[in-house]
Structure formats: C-alpha cells, structure tokens
Structure 1
Amino acid sequence: MNSTMPAQLSEEQLKQVIQGPIDVEWRYEMRRECQEILPNLLLGPFVASKSLETLQALHVTHIVCIRDAKEAFSVKPRFPDQFQYLVLDVEDNEEQNLIRLFPEAKRFIDKAIENGGRVLVHCNGGISLSPAFVVMFVMQHYQISWEDALHLVQNRRYCISPNGGFLTQIKEYEAIYKANVAHASFPQALRPVARRKREMDDDDHEDVAEEDRDRKRPLVAAQSQERMDMDMDAMETS
C-alpha cells in the first residue's frame, strides 16, 4: 500500500526534491501533456484526460476534474467506467475560494494514493486553477513553505502560473496547515487532563470560599454581640 505521508527527508534531500529533474528540457507542446509532481500525483490540462490510451499508459486510476462551472458542458469526465472521478465546479477567477474546496480534493487524493492508485489533477488549461490545488497539496505533504511548494511544482510543469487571487490563498494556506500540524502534534491525553485540572481548581476555589464564609459568619456575629453588650453598658451607666 502506497502512502501520501512523506518520508523524513534531510535538508539536502528536500532541496533536491524541490529542484526536481534537471535533465528535462521543457518544450512548449509539453503544456498539453501531464507531468508527475509527486509519486503517483500528476498535473496537467483537460486535454490530457481525453486520451484513454494515455491515461492507461500512465496507470492513472483516479482523476480530479476542476472546472469553471461555465465549462461543464465540455470539461467533464470522459471515462466514468474506467476511472474514479472527483468533479469540483468553481469560478476560474481571483475571487474563487479555493481553501474551502481543497480539503475535499486532498481527501480524495490521499485515499486514492493510500490504496495504490495514481491521480491526475486537471483543469482546462492546467495553468492556474488545478496547479493551485496541487501546490497546496505539495506544501502540506512535505510541510514546506508556499514558495518552496510553488517552485517544486513549477520545476516539473514549467508553464503553471496561478493568478493573483489563487497565489494569495496559497500563501494563506501555509499558516492554516501549520496551525493544523501544531494542533495535531499536541498530546491528546493532556487536553482532558488540563480541563479536569481547571475544574478541580474551580472546585477548590469554591471550597475555600465557602470555608472563608463559614469562618467569617461567627466572627461577624461575635463582633455584633460585643457591640450590643457595649451599648447596653453605656445605657446603664448613663
């Protein structure tokens, strides 16, 4: 079973992974093909998903089809009997919220690869929309910065260029995934203990407060009785 969890890489190994293959000469027509970004994760344009022969040669088993809703009539699953699809309808503009949609795509990709599959992620051109999803996936996969994740993807598919709005969200996602990692790494066992400790502390404070009130009551009563005695004495001597 293959896993999407990365191996522990040294700093030098990570640099090599980000740099990618150095013996590949990028040609313009390669933008119409798909490229392997991570083991078993490919990125490309819609045209790469239209050839059953190509998909079978690449051993693709799952396809993430990310399309502008206006393109649904043409950008659609071509071989639903051959592959498992996830279709995400979005608006291919800078206002589209990708971070909200990304978790569903990540779950689909993770599950596919964990079960030994190979995933192709595509949009219409494979330039802006689908690369933004793959950059976020790579960022969290290797737990690297958004710049390194972007360079990693660009060094395998040179033609990608997420629009300004998508790039902003890629930057924002770095803080989100790091917060999730930090939360997940916090020992679960300590959380209820800390909560119980606060509850016990609250109970202790209440007990102490009650004891203080109990101690104060007779003291106040004694002081009041003493003042009454003094007043009676004063009246008798007057």
Structure 2
Amino acid sequence: MNPLNLTEEQLRSVVQGPGDVEWRYEMRRECQEILPELLLGPFVASKSLPTLQSLGITHIVCIRDAKEAFSVRPRFPEQFMYLVLDVEDNEEQNLIRLFPRAKAFIDEAISQGGKVLVHCNGGISLSPAFVVMFVMQHYALSWEDALHMVQNRRYCISPNGGFLTQIKEYEAIYRASQAVARFSSNSSNAERTVTRRKREDDSDNEDERNDSKRPLVDLTDSRHIHIPPPHDPYAMETS
C-alpha cells in the first residue's frame, strides 16, 4: 500500500505526469517540478534569485563533486536554507549512505510548507538519482516507476550505471524498513489489546472476589432483621 493511499489509477497518472509538455533542449538549463513541493534542475537554475523567488523556493539541496566546490556553492545563504552534500560524481560513489540526510532535509522543508530545489552541476545524473529515491519512497513505487516518473518531467536525466544500481538496491531497503515499521506497529497494537484485556479480566476477577466476601444478608441493615417484642410475663393473655 502506498503511504498516500492513492488508487492504482491515480498512481499511474502520477508516474505518467503531464502529457502536454513539449521538451526543448534549452529546458536542460531550467528546473522542473517533480512534486508540487520538489523541483529538480542544474546548478545554473540556482543562480537566479528572481527565478528562485518566483518559483517559491525556500530550501535548496546542493549536491556537488568536491572538485566543484569553488563554483558550485550556495549563492544566496541569506534568502534560502541550504543542504550541501560533497560527493564524487562517479559510479563508485555511495549515494545510499548520503540519501537519509537529503530525505530528512526535504521532508522537514515540506512539513513546514516549504518548497525545495535539488540540483547538482548538470542536473543529469547525480541529483536526479537522489530525487528518484525520494519519490520512490514517497509514493511507495518500484524503482522503474520512480525513474519513469522523474524522466517524464525532466526528460534529460540519465543516472550513471553505478547510481542506477543503487536506485534498484534502495527499493529493497525502503520496502524492508516499511515492513519492519508495519510489524512494530501491529505488535504494539496487539500488546495494547492484550494489556487492556488483562486489565478488564483482573477487574472482573476482583469484582468476583469482592462478591464472594459479602454476606448474603447485610447485618447492618435493619430492614432485613425482624426483632420480636420482648415477652412480658405479667401481661394478660387474651383468648
């Protein structure tokens, strides 16, 4: 079950995306909306303050190769909240280890009503891999559907082979974590049910014990006791 409780038809629509977009080559230099609160693009899209403000951006995830740090960097730290991740843009880079930081940052931004731009230098391989993993878990999608969902909005993405392998691996990781969470929740519910029933049984047993200790007739209640009048030996008997 997807966490947003969408129907299969609604999920298909989410994956397919808008069908009326005509992709142009120059759109590679722009950012595209993947979710209403999440955009993906290249570094150049993060350099225009008026554009960022017009899009309603509040948070920016800057993912860069360490060698690019002198140029790919936060440009407007006074206006936006930034998360900077230094990585190596090659197939050996472990993205799964870094992804939880990015996901936590994006989740918090969205929960606060914010809007997030995720970018790397070109917006082709590195940052799309993070966004694919995010939407995969967000909608409980397979890795193929998550990849198609992002590609259907930013046509030029192409994660390298190493990143694509990790995207596939992440599906098993997040599904396992969801299964553990469901098991823990079910176990907690069952434990609460057993505890509640035990309290009810204990209460019933206590009532039974109290009932067994009560006298059949309450000797302190005069309504249940008949005391005959005292016998007067000098009283005249009448026939």
Coarse TM-score class (shorter-chain normalised): 0.7 to 0.9
State the partner residue of 1:227.
none
Secondary structure of the 2:184 match is: coil
Deviations 1:107-148 (A, max 9, x none): 000000010000000000000000000000000000010000
State the partner residue of 1:42.
39
State the partner residue of 2:86.
89
Q: Tell me the distance in 1 between the aligned counterparts of 2:139 and 2:61.
A: 21
State the partner residue of 1:17.
14
- 2:78 aligned with 1:107, yes or no? no
- 2:175 aligned with 1:178, yes or no? yes
With the length of structure 2 as denominator, give the TM-score of the two structures.
0.77
Unaligned runs of 5+ in 2: 192-239
Match of 1:139 among 136, 140, 157: 136
Q: Tell me the distance in 2 between the aligned counterparts of 1:70 and 1:181.
A: 36
Secondary structure of the 1:187 match is: helix
Runs of 4+ deviating beyond 4 Å? none
Larger radius of gyration: 2
With the length of structure 1 as denominator, give the TM-score of the two structures.
0.77
Secondary structure of the 1:24 match is: coil
> Post-superposition shift, 1:175?
0.1
- Given that 2:56 and 2:115 are in contact with CA atoms closer than 8 Å, whether structure 1 keeps it comes out as yes
Q: Tell me the distance in 1 between the aligned counterparts of 2:23 and 2:186.
A: 51
> Post-superposition shift, 1:190?
2.8
- Given that 2:3 and 2:140 are in contact with CA atoms closer than 8 Å, whether structure 1 keeps it comes out as no
Secondary structure of the 2:22 match is: coil
- 2:49 aligned with 1:59, yes or no? no
Instruction: Read off the aligned partner of 1:145 and give its amino acid letter.
Output: S
Deviations 1:73-108 (A, max 9, x none): 000000000000000000000000000000000000
Q: Which moved further from structure 2: 120-129 or 6-15? A: 6-15
- Given that 2:59 and 2:116 are in contact with CA atoms closer than 8 Å, whether structure 1 keeps it comes out as yes
Instruction: Read off the aligned partner of 1:121 and give its amino acid letter.
Output: V
Q: Tell me the distance in 2 between the aligned counterparts of 1:189 and 1:132.
A: 33
RMSD (Å), alpha carbons: 1.5
Deviations 1:168-199 (A, max 9, x none): 00000000000000001113473796xxxxxx
Secondary structure of the 2:110 match is: helix
Distance 1:52 1:11, change over 3 A: same
Q: Tell me the distance in 1 between the aligned counterparts of 2:175 and 2:161.
A: 22
Share of identical aligned residues, percent? 80
Unaligned runs of 5+ in 1: 194-238
Q: Tell me the distance in 2 between the aligned counterparts of 1:79 and 1:132.
A: 24
Q: Tell me the distance in 2 between the aligned counterparts of 1:13 and 1:188.
A: 27
Instruction: Read off the aligned partner of 1:75 and give its amino acid letter.
Output: V
State the partner residue of 1:26.
23
State the partner residue of 1:217.
none
Q: Tell me the distance in 2 between the aligned counterparts of 1:178 and 1:121.
A: 24
Q: Tell me the distance in 2 between the aligned counterparts of 1:156 and 1:31.
A: 11
Distance 1:55 1:145, change over 3 A: same
